[in-house]
Amino acid sequence: SLSAPSSNNSTAAAGSTATGGANTEDGAMKRGSGGDGAPAMQAGLLAMQQQQQQQKRLEQLTRNGGKHTNTITAKQSTLHLPIYWSQDRYAVTLRVGFPTTQFPSRTIRVKVVGALKYEDRHSAVGSGSMMTDYIAKQNDDDNPSYGSIRIVSVSGGDDQETVLFNGLLPRPIHLNHEEVEVEFEIEDSGINNDVDIHIVEETCCDRFVSITMPKAVPMH
C-alpha cells in the first residue's frame, strides 16, 4: 500500500516551492532593475550630446577671439554678462549675452561710432591692434581706438538706459553695402550659465546681441 508523505517532507517541499518562488521573484526584480538602466543610459547619452553641442557653440563664439565677463548693476541686482568675440580675415563678430527676463529684446539698442563708409573700406588709417579684449582697450597715443560700441536697454516712458556694454574699437571697421549704420541681430545664446565658475551670482543669458563688423584695411 502507498503511504502518505511525512509532514517533514511536505514542509520541505513547501519550503522548496516557496524558495523557488522567491528566487523567481528575485530574478524578475533583477531583470526589472536591468531594464531600468536603459532610460538612465539614454539620459546620459543625451547629456553628453548637449555638452558636446555647447562645446561646439563655445568654439564658434570664440574662434580666433576670446571671452570676457562684464559685471553690471541693474534693478538693484548684480548681473554678469558674457561677452564673446570671434573673427576671420574679413570681419569680427561681437556677442553680448543678456537675460530677457530683465531686458526684453525689443528694448535693446546698439550704437557704433567710427565705422567707415563702404566706399572707404580700403582707405583706413592704420590697421589697428589685435582683436583681443574690448574692455581692456585704452584710448591713448600708443593705442588709439578707431571708434566705440555702446549697447543699452531702454525702458520706461522716459527712455531710461541700462548700459550692457561700452567699449572701444581697437581696429578700423566699415559699414556694409547700403548701410547707414552698423546693424545688429538678437539670437538665441545656446549656452547655459556660461559664466566664470568663481562668480557666485550666476545669470543665465538666453539671448545675444550679435554685431558683425567688416574690417577696413589701409590704402596701399
Cα 192 to Cα 58, 82, 83: the distances in Å are 11, 11, 14
**Beta strands 66-74 and 148-155, pairing class:** unpaired
Q: What is the pLDDT of residue 134?
A: 46
Spatial distance between the Cα atoms of 25 and 30, rounded to a whole number of angstroms? 9
Q: Where residue 214 falls among pLDDT bands split at 50, 70, 90? A: very high
Q: Per residue in 22-38, pLDDT tens?
A: 444 444 444 444 556 78
Spatial distance between the Cα atoms of 90 and 197, rounded to a whole number of angstroms? 33
Dump strand ranges (E) for the chain: 66-74, 77-87, 91-98, 108-113, 148-155, 160-168, 185-188, 207-214
Which has more pLDDT, 113 or 27? 113
Report the pLDDT averaged over residues 168-197: 82
Spatial distance between the Cα atoms of 84 and 205, rounded to a whole number of angstroms? 13
Grid cell at residue 179 = 548701410
Report the pLDDT averaged over residues 1-24: 43
- For the chain, what is the radius of gyration of the CA atoms? 32
Phi and psi torsions of 164, nearest 5°: -90, -30
Question: Among 124, 106, 103, which Cα is nearest to 115's?
Answer: 124
Q: Where residue 12 falls among pLDDT bands split at 50, 70, 90? A: very low
Report the pLDDT averaged over residues 152-163: 86
Lowest mean pLDDT among 12-16, 113-117, 118-122, 169-173: 12-16
Grid cell at residue 13 = 517541499
Q: Per residue in 62-103, pLDDT tens?
A: 999 999 889 998 878 888 999 999 999 999 999 999 999 999
Report the pLDDT averaged over residues 95-114: 94
Spatial distance between the Cα atoms of 140 and 196, rounded to a whole number of angstroms? 30
Grid cell at residue 171 = 581696429
Q: Where residue 47 falls among pLDDT bands split at 50, 70, 90? A: confident
Grid cell at residue 214 = 567688416
Q: Record the pTM.
A: 0.70
